[in-house]
Structure 1
Amino acid sequence: MVGSLEWGPAAERPGLLAGPVAAVIGARPEARVAEIDPELADTAAFCERYGVPPEASANCVVVAAKRGGEVTYAACMVPATGRADVNGVVRRHLGARKVSFAPMAEATSLTSMEYGGITPVGLPSGWPILVDEAVAATPEVVIGSGVRRSKLLLPGKAVADLPGAEVLALALGGTR
């Protein structure tokens, strides 16, 4: 397992998951969950405190893509060591004129998840999930659980296999 956390089957601990995550996690027997201090949910603090290598952690960012007055939302899964190429790869892939990070209130309202805990598991139906190829290739990756008080551990391949997921060269900077 990754880091110093006590990982257990996520399906057996729904109280550590946001509602939409708990609703679908039973179909993912490989998913593990661990309780954390919610004050340490942000990646750098989390990795330092729990001994999780940053390259074993991924962040989920929600973007709003605009074209012709229409707004669509997508999730981008990038390694903690990089950042999403929102104005390049993401914009072109979504066919948008403009893409920006969704405001916190919108992201939390639309996903029914807590800011700092948003995850691609349990996102609204139809949302594209753009997964960086490095995340998909990670044997075990730590991601959000929908709440700040826990983290999920999944094989990168399981993230890439989520409904609506597409694997792309998405991240800028950091190690790849």
Structure 2
Amino acid sequence: MDGGATPDIAPPTVYGTATIMNSSARDVNVTWEFSIDPGFQYLLRFHFCDIMSNEISQLYCNVYVDSWLLVKDLNPNYFSYTLLANAIYMDFVSALNVSNKLRVNIGPSSIPNVLPNAILNGLDIMKMNNSLGSLSGSATLLSDSTSYKTNEGMLVGFITGAVIAVLFAAIICML
């Protein structure tokens, strides 16, 4: 859990609206599918604020990304202890994506005697650069890695040549 949200994290209007699961349906998730570039990781920032409950312990939900359970039995009010409608955010980094789709789901908790429900106020998806510092697709990655290897080969050649020249100069000085 990253903490209480401030206006620097997201504007208050983010926490005043929400997508809420239909609580009369059982075993139903709310799902979003986003187009992404494969070969990258993504920073996902989830924004939660329970604007629908009358008590702190009424809303529990599960959060998934690409069928992976990220948070089980999340109660957005838990972190504020006594306040309802306290805005929080949580950051996660996705696995390296091989697909061009990213799916985010919220669904009901399996805690007994809790109404099935789920809420999400906002979601930020930010592409993370790769190990070369690039945000481009895989074609650029191949050319970048090729030029890196070429530069590395040139550096090894230069160092080897310099060592040979120093050794040669040392041998001549000794004669």
What is the TM-score normalised by the length of structure 1?
0.24
Structure ID, larger Rg: 2
What is the TM-score normalised by the length of structure 2?
0.25
Greater RCO, 1 or 2 (C-alpha within 8 Å, sep 6+): 2
Going by fraction, where is helix more abundant, 1 or 2?
1
